[in-house]
Each structure stands twice: as structure tokens, then as C-alpha cells.
Amino acid sequence: MKTIAVLTSGGDAPGMNAAVRAVVRTGIYNDMRVMGVYNGYEGLMNGDIEELSLRSIGNIIQRGGTVLRSARSAEFTQESGRLRALETCKKFGIEGLVVIGGDGSYRGALEFSRLGVTCVGVPGTIDNDIGCTDYTIGFDTAINTVMEMVDKVRDTTESHSRCSVIEVMGRDAGYIGLEAGIAVGATSILIPEFEYDFDKDVLGRMQNTIVTGKRHFVIIVAEGVGDAMEMAKKIEQFTGIETRATILGYVQRGGSPTVRDRVLASRMGNEAVRLLRDGEESCVIGVRNEEIVHYPIEEGLAMKKTIDVEQYRMAYEISI
């Protein structure tokens, strides 16, 4: 394979730049030309592409977001859009494509690979909700950001003996809520995977800790579970404890990637290009028990991930 391309797609995540850098450096190390595609599949259809040099991706390993920018593209979900993207690949001689994104981007890669371009998916999403990998690029940075933010909120929560309801990202997946909730010692962690009972799991848990002298509380709520503002109002109403809601929002998607995300992204970006170099079929990359693995895209997409029930139980046990 002489020419490959790399793009970032879907929701951005810290560490995507480190993956792009690894793809470019590995490609050039292996005598390939590496094209950078801007704005995800949109740029692939429109030919928004330039060749990346060793130095053009310098000084990005520490930066959040993605220098290739990201986009969502309705047109690419149509065959006509993908055929336009194929024309671009032919024009630039692109034989292999590294797609850094979430499972939506993987579905796009699966469809596109059927047109004859080998695609390798690299998991980049803060949600950690991709079945074929233990960790996704960006997750570690996101949970560290949540932890830092909650630690700051907690100082004032403690000084005023308040309750803080913190809304974190996670419409369908509670990985951020669970890990960050454990890290901040939340009294209650409410995530989409588990039904909760307001009286028992929020008020009851607060009440139990009040009896033993606790005077400030942090409740973590994943966005998919409900409205943090309303929950704060309800808590105040029922307990008489002053309660504030904080919605962390997009702060969770930004910032300089952690060591863990930079290393994971570098390993995965490197492996993606090595697979292309070795003539492997289209696939998605993951990490299992710290080892880098790959699966055919369809197989990877079919894999289900379930939240660690034991970890959830543990969080409850140690938050009394």
C-alpha cells in the first residue's frame, strides 16, 4: 500500500491528535504517503485533503480536539455520497483509510470498505461505549476532567454544607458517571444502565450518611438519567439541605489528553497503519487486557459491552 488517508469523525475526543500523529509517523516510517482528510467523511466526499508531512503533525500530541476537525455527514450514509468519496480516493490514489471515531463512524467505514477501500477503525470517543474495546481514546481524559471539576465544586459544597448534583455526559452509557463517581466519592451515582428509586437511592442514601455525621453530598447524574436541575430542587424540597446543580457539559470533551489517552492513541494509530501495510482486511482496533487487538468491522460492531455490575456494587458499598 503506497497511499493511505486518515480522518476523524463523529464526536471529538482528547487524544485524537495523538492517534493522527501516530498514523502519519508510522505511515511515513513505512514509506507510505499519508493524506489528512479534513471534516470527517464530509471532507472525503469533497476532496478536502492534503498530504501530511512528518513536521505538519508536530506539536499536536498534547492538544485536545482534532486538528483534522470532525463532522457528521448525512450524505455519507447514502450510497451516492460514498461513491463521491470513492472518487476522491481514486483521484488521490488512497488505498487504505484510518477512521478515528465512534461506532457511527465504524458503520460508515463498514459501508465504505464494501466499495473496495480498506478501512481501519480506531475508537475515539469520551463515552467508552464501544463494544470491541475495553477503552476508547478520550475516556481517561474525560473522567479526569470530571474528577477535577467535581473536586473544585466539592470545596464550596463542603464549606456550605450543601448538596451538589453534578450532571455528567452519558446519554446511553454510564461509564463516565460510574468511574468519575467512584473517583470523587459520590454519595449516589445515577446512570442509565441501572434503574433508580429516588427515595431509596438518593434521599435514603443521604439520610443514612447524615445519621453518621455527613454534612455535604455529591450526587452524580448521567445526562441520560434525567434533569439535574429538577433533581436538585427535589432534593432540597425533601431534605431542606441547600442543593445546587452543576452541568459540566462540553468541558468534558476538551483539554489536553492524559498520559493514558496519549499512549493508547499512539499504540492504536501505529497498529492501524501496520495492519494496512501488512495487507489486512478492513477491521476495527481495540484493547483487551492491555493488548491491542483487531476484529473484522462487522464482528466488532456486533460486540456488546455491559457496565461492570461489581464496580457499581462496590461504589455503593463504600459510599455509606
Q: If binding means CB under 6 A, how many residues of this protein chain bind ligand ADP? A: 17
Binds ligand ADP by CB under 6 A, chosen from 48, 103, 167, 223 = 103
Least distance to ligand ADP, CB of residue 10, Å: 2
Cα 63 to Cα 56, 215, 307: the distances in Å are 14, 39, 29
Work out the angle at residue 65's Cα, subtended by the Cα atoms of residues 137 and 191, and round it to the nearest 5 degrees: 55
Cα distance between residue 299 and residue 121, in whole Å: 12
Show contacts with ligand ADP in window 33-72 (CB under 6 A). 41, 72
Q: Could you say which of 12, 48, 103, 127 is catalytic?
A: 127
Three-class secondary structure of residue 291 per DSSP = strand
Is residue 128 a contact residue for ligand ADP (CB under 6 A)?
no
Least distance to ligand ADP, CB of residue 256, Å: 21
Is residue 73 a contact residue for ligand ADP (CB under 6 A)?
yes
Cα distance between residue 127 and residue 81, in whole Å: 28
Q: Which of 46-54, 107-115, 167-175, 286-294 is the region at the interface with ligand ADP (rule: CB under 6 A)?
A: 107-115
User: Which pairing describes strands 291-296 and 283-288: parallel, antiparallel, or unpaired?
Assistant: antiparallel
- CB-neighbour burial class of residue 242 (10 A; exposed 0-12, middle 13-18, buried 19+): middle
Contact criterion met (CB below 8 Å) for 142 and 14? yes
Taking the least distance from each CB to ligand ADP, the nearer of 101 and 170 is 101
Residue with cell string 468534558: 252
Taking the least distance from each CB to ligand ADP, the nearer of 160 and 171 is 171
Taking the least distance from each CB to ligand ADP, the nearer of 66 and 164 is 66
Q: Within a 10 A sphere around the Cβ of 174, how many other Cβ atoms?
A: 27
Taking the least distance from each CB to ligand ADP, the nearer of 125 and 246 is 125
Q: Catalytic site residue 308?
A: no
Least distance to ligand ADP, CB of residue 110, Å: 7
Is residue 252 a contact residue for ligand ADP (CB under 6 A)?
no
Binds ligand ADP by CB under 6 A, chosen from 47, 104, 131, 192 = 104
Cα distance between residue 264 and residue 307, in whole Å: 21
Question: 289: which DSSP letter?
Answer: T
Residues binding ligand ADP (CB under 6 A): 9-11, 41, 72-73, 76-77, 101-105, 107-108, 111, 125
Catalytic machinery residues: 127
